[in-house]
Amino acid sequence: MAVAGGSGVNHGAEADDHEHEAHDHAHSHDHDSKIYQGYFDDAQIAERQLSDWAGDWQSVYPLLQDGALDPVMEHKAENGDQSAEEYRAYYEIGYKTDIDRITIEGDAVTFYQAGKPLAAQYASDGFEVLTYAKGNRGVRFIFEKTEGDEAAPKFIQFSDHAIAPQDAGHYHLYWGDDRAALLEEVTNWPTYYPSSLDGEQIVKEMIAH
């Protein structure tokens, strides 16, 4: 699968530090704030099923490109230490992908590139705990391809700031054929929100968090 994003390299170190400080979040509001920020004990981590990410999802990259997320960048500038343009440049790299839609049903994951589907089945391959520069941590939930289109990635890895079973409100997805290399990705973290949401609704979710 020829993609611009998510292939080969964690929303790790500085990227995840930023993620937990200023990124947009849309999952359950009743999460434990310390876990949400990346501070937790290993005993709190629990295996998750692909059903946690079931649904029809849209990439937010097109929304960044067409200016729909400009209010989010302006909000970050008002509360952060960079200009709106600097934040936009950061997310331009982070959100970049040519997989504009993903559907997940059962063990089947379908990637849509320019409207063309690429599908495969995936099974859990455990999780990895990543430690970031600030000392906070994150959990990457990993699934390995069991069958399907040859061009579909061998591994997909989810990050949504949760460390135990719960339905995701959004997520960052990493994909590729090298499990270890994906854990080193630090700049590109394609991000997906429900396809049922329009641009204004996604902006409200992002600003709310």
CATH of the domain at 121: 2.40.128.20
pLDDT of residue 176: 97
Note the pTM of the prediction, 2 decimals. 0.86
Instruction: Scan for tokens 């063309």, then name that residue.
Output: 116
Phi, psi of 74 (to 5 degrees): -70, -40
Note the pLDDT tens digit of each residue in 111-163. Answer: 999 999 999 999 999 999 999 888 999 999 999 999 999 999 999 999 998 99
Q: Token pair of 48, please?
A: 């998750």
Which two three-digit tokens encode residue 13? 């170190």
Residue partners of 55: CB distance under 8 A and separation at least 6: 103, 104, 194, 195
The pLDDT assigned to 159 comes to: 96
pLDDT of 52 higher than 70? yes
Q: How many residues does the chain have?
A: 209
Q: Are strands 55-59 and 171-176 parallel, antiparallel or unpaired?
A: unpaired
Q: Is the pLDDT of residue 194 over 90?
A: yes
Q: For residues 87-93, give the mean pLDDT.
A: 98
What is the pLDDT at residue 33?
83
pLDDT for residue 133: 84
Compute the mean pLDDT over every residue in the chain, rounded to the nearest whole number. Answer: 87
Q: Is 17 part of any domain?
A: yes
Number of domains in the chain: 1
Residue 68's pLDDT is 98
Task: For 78-87, write each residue's pLDDT tens digit.
Answer: 999 999 999 9
User: Residue 64: inside a domain, yes or no?
Assistant: yes
Is there a domain that residue 8 lies in?
no
Asked whether residue 119 is assigned to any structural domain, the reply reads yes
Say if 84 falls within a structural domain.
yes
How far apart CA 195 and CA 56 sit, in angstroms, is: 6
Residue 57 lies in a domain: yes
Q: Is residue 46 part of a domain?
A: yes
Tell me which of 25-29, 170-174, 179-183 is least confident.
25-29
Question: What is the DSSP code (8-state) at residue 144?
Answer: E
Q: Is 31 contained in some domain?
A: yes
pLDDT band of 21, cuts 50, 70, 90: very low
Domain of residue 130, residue span: 13-208
Instruction: Quote the pLDDT of residue 208.
Output: 86
